[in-house]
Structure 1
Amino acid sequence: MLITALRAWFTRPGAQIPAWYLTHSDFVVGPVLRLMHTNLAHPWTLDALAAKTGVSRTNLARRFTTLVGLPPMTYLRERRLALAADLLREPGATPAAVASRVGFANAFALSTAFKKQHGVSPSDYRTRESHTGT
């Protein structure tokens, strides 16, 4: 129902269609986003994504960056880290388990990227979030 409502809203005369909406209907970027979101833990590379969509790495990187606002691998890392933050709030979640679910090779790799993005380690984030209740 939401998709139908969005389509109706964005196809009305004079509608300003946001870039995020256009990305999903793009013949290159749409399939790449679906691949990433469907299997976030997969060890995606720019080469693999380009091969899956039948375009060159350069074309994929340029088109993705133009429509999404970030290069594909940066987008993927940020998406993984956002999901990791959500998963770390779950009771009993460990950095190693979260790393595996979101596509980091191990807890150390997740911790390094997470600390760079959030300013704290996954363990500290988990402790802080459990005390604040958010």
Structure 2
Amino acid sequence: MIEKLYDLKKTQIDRKLVEKGRLMQEIAAIEAELTITQAKINTTGVQPHGAISDFAILQMHKNSMKKHMYNLEIRRKNLERKHQLVVDQLVELQKESEQFNYILQEEKKEKIKLALKAEEEASSEYMQSKYIRLKG
């Protein structure tokens, strides 16, 4: 029973590690997009015959990029909160897993002690029977 619980905790830990990795990748992608968007805001200018030929249109474009960055920041903060929750859950799962592992190790030690004791009793009985035969 303890072994099944230990295996279950190990499986849960593996799943949480995968989820943690996925969240970290999403956060990194958002940070990269934030950097790119900030660079675009800083480098976008008025082009005499281009798509952005008016300062009002340029400002609207920059505002839309800032709004996009704001939305990305909110999403990143939410992902960071989820990431922290996953990390906290991982810590708890690892503690539980270690407890079950400790119990398993103690059970193994107890089984070994019992086996040694049974072997000792068997050899003691053998020696007693041999001694009795020699005396008798």
Q: What TM bracket, shorter-length normalisation?
A: under 0.3
Return the structure number with greater relative CO, CA threshold 8 A, min gap 6. Answer: 2
Q: Report the TM-score when normalising by structure 2.
A: 0.25
More helix as a share of residues: 2
Q: Report the TM-score when normalising by structure 1.
A: 0.25
Larger-Rg structure: 2
